[in-house]
């Protein structure tokens, strides 16, 4: 089968399109395996849709299904555009709802579904947290030192709340974010919905108004803005290669 590899701010994905919608959990685990497969944080499969440009099936590296992925949405939009599956302004269906994207060269902007507050600020394990759904649930803690990342604590909080876990810091006019992701079960180089959830937490604390540059662990620059209760997330994507794989 033919697949394409993409990187979006350090989040990497295997992508292909097909006419059949089926369970591809095992395929996701095989393709995302970094030793014996292509290697990726997730698998994205595009299938036809009667109303929208397409529908996606998104799988984490462990084969679990995710409703939404911010960086994945930017990668798949670029893939759809260059493969003539959609115009530069597109809408597609995800498990979280309909997502709109705009492609401009290697820059892609995603309009996310409206965020939902799951649990307001609370204190646990020495940190103040907020739990926000920006397509998938995210715990966010604003910290003093972003260089310190307690992976064991992140894993514990991820298991307890079944959410991604983010540590964020606003300094020197930019937001820096580190994320432990469900399905990958480790820190990833970037998480789009996590950066957006962190942006909202910093905004609630009056550090940010309606716009900020954001830097994940990959240190790539992204932009997040908030207008009319809607989050917009923009940054570069990179097609890394096409391949034929045996399955």
Q: Is 196 a catalytic residue?
A: no
- Per the residue annotation, which of 32, 101, 191, 196 is the catalytic one? 191
Structure token digits, residue 38? 């292509």
Q: Residues 162-182, buried b or exposed e (16+ Cβ, 10 A)?
A: ebbbbbbbbeeeebbbbbbbb
**Other beta carbons within 10 Å of 132:** 27
- Per the residue annotation, which of 32, 69, 101, 196 is the catalytic one? 69
- Asked if residues 132 and 140 have their Cβ atoms less than 8 Å apart, the reply is yes
Residue 166's DSSP bridge partners are 140, 179
Q: Is 191 a catalytic residue?
A: yes
Q: Is 244 helix (H, G, I), strand (E, B) or coil?
A: strand
For residue 161, report the phi and psi dihedrals to the nearest 5 degrees: -105, 0
Return the active site residues: 69, 191
């Amino acid at each position: 089968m033919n697949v394409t590899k993409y990187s979006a701010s350090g989040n990497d994905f295997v992508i292909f399109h097909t006419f059949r919608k089926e369970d591809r959990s095992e395929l996701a685990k095989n393709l995302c395996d970094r030793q014996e497969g292509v290697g990726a944080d997730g698998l994205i499969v595009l299938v036809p849709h009667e109303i929208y440009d397409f529908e996606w099936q998104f799988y984490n590296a462990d084969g679990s299904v995710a409703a939404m992925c911010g960086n994945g949405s930017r990668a798949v939009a670029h893939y759809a555009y260059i493969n003539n599956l959609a115009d530069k302004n597109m809408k597609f269906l995800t498990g979280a709802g309909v997502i709109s994207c705009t492609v401009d060269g290697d820059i892609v902007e995603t309009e996310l579904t409206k965020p939902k507050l799951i649990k307001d600020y609370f204190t646990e394990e020495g940190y103040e947290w907020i739990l926000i759904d920006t397509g998938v649930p995210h715990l966010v803690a604003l910290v003093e030192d972003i260089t310190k990342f307690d992976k064991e604590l992140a894993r514990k909080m991820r298991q307890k709340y079944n959410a991604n876990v983010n540590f964020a810091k606003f300094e020197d006019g930019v937001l820096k974010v580190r994320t432990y992701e469900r399905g990958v079960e480790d820190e990833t180089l970037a998480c789009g919905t996590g950066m957006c959830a962190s942006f909202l937490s910093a905004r609630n604390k009056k550090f940010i108004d309606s716009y900020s540059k954001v830097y994940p662990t990959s240190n790539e620059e992204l932009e997040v803005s908030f207008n009319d209760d809607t989050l917009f997330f923009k940054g570069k994507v990179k097609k890394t290669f096409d391949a034929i794989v045996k399955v």
